[in-house]
Copies of this chain bind each other. A is one copy, B any other.
């Protein structure tokens, strides 16, 4: 039984971590109280939840935390990660703080300076289907963004196989549930603004874009990404368009994808023409992928779906924890 900590447990990703880890047989959870927050929900008598401790490196050391999850904004992650690493814990950061490889790239997309170039270089990008070995040996894992998780898993097999016409461009039309925007109240995510509504945002300049470019090797001009806000609590569905070259049938595209993910516990492929929806992956750590190909014109459409709080955040973070702490990769996640 290993102790692990969670900072930011009141946020949606943090609360999901608490829920998932309650089913994990190898860890005991401690909540690191980073700031007082009056918004705790009422709890039934006798059901207090995991113990809370102060959010300091000393406590991390005292409680021998094997790993700490940072479900915090990037600036808080940057503030906490070095000390926790110094205290001997592995760190799994769910923010964008360590996802890009250089301070320059961070500056461009996050509009802020980054003073920990060494940690940027050291951090493993926590997409196990692509970087499993590296994650297993890492001290610091940067958990991927929710949009890039669904995008990278759906696009990469076809880019890698050389069947996607990069010059014609790949379009990724992404839709996310509102929990992706976090728990902090704002007009944009208030009920009356979101319900019965639907909107596009961050056209071509979402800060998750560089995570896709970095992993796929696509150029910025080859990849068009638009985010949309769905009037649902959780879930991401991305509809991806490209021209396929050298492909005769939809089944060939399905086979490329299936081959790529053979043995992967959390990627599921559908028969040609069959599609996942948000419900298919709700509260699961799966990324589901469906494909539709029009052979007469070479147009391909790939639909990928994840739960943004699970495979897009807390679930993938636990998957990464399982890798770095030596648990079975699926523990707590099936």
Contacts and interface: CB of A to CB of B under 8 A. Distances in A.
Contacts of A46: 268
Contact of A299 (B42, B221, B277): B221
B197 A268 contact: no
B197 A196 contact: no
Nearest to A12: B192
Interface string A226-258: 101011111101010101000000000000001
A124 to B, nearest CB: 28
Contacts of A298: 221
A241 B222 CA distance: 12
Given A198-B230, A226-B301, A190 B191 contact: yes
Contacts of A288: 44
A203 B291 CA distance: 9
B204 A294 contact: yes
Interface of A: 12, 39, 41-42, 44-47, 168-169, 171, 173, 175, 178-179, 183, 185-187, 189-201, 203-205, 220-221, 224, 226, 228, 230-235, 237, 239, 241, 243, 258, 268-271, 273-280, 282-283, 286, 288, 290, 292, 294, 296-299, 301, 303
